[in-house]
Amino acid sequence: MIATQTPEPLHQRPGVRQFVKFGIVGASSSVINFGFFNLLYHKAGLPLVPALTIAFLLSVCNGFFWNRRWTFKETRHQPAHTQSMRFFAVNIVGWLLNTSIVVLLVAHFTSSGEGLLGDRSHFLQVLSDIVIGQGKAHYGFWLVNGALVAATGVVVFWNYFANRLWTFKQ
What does the pLDDT read at residue 54?
Answer: 97
As a whole number, the mean pLDDT across the chain is 86
* Domain assignment of residue 101, yes or no: yes
Instruction: Tell whether the model's pLDDT for residue 2 goes beyond 70.
Output: no
* Domain assignment of residue 9, yes or no: no
* Domain assignment of residue 139, yes or no: yes
For the entire predicted model, the pTM comes to: 0.80
Number of folded domains in the chain?
A: 1
Hey, what amino acid is at 70? W
Q: Whole domain around residue 125: which residue ranges?
A: 19-70+80-167
Q: Which residue did the predictor score with more confidence, 3 or 51?
A: 51
pLDDT in tens, 55-100: 999 999 999 889 888 888 888 788 888 888 988 899 999 999 999 9
* Domain assignment of residue 13, yes or no: no
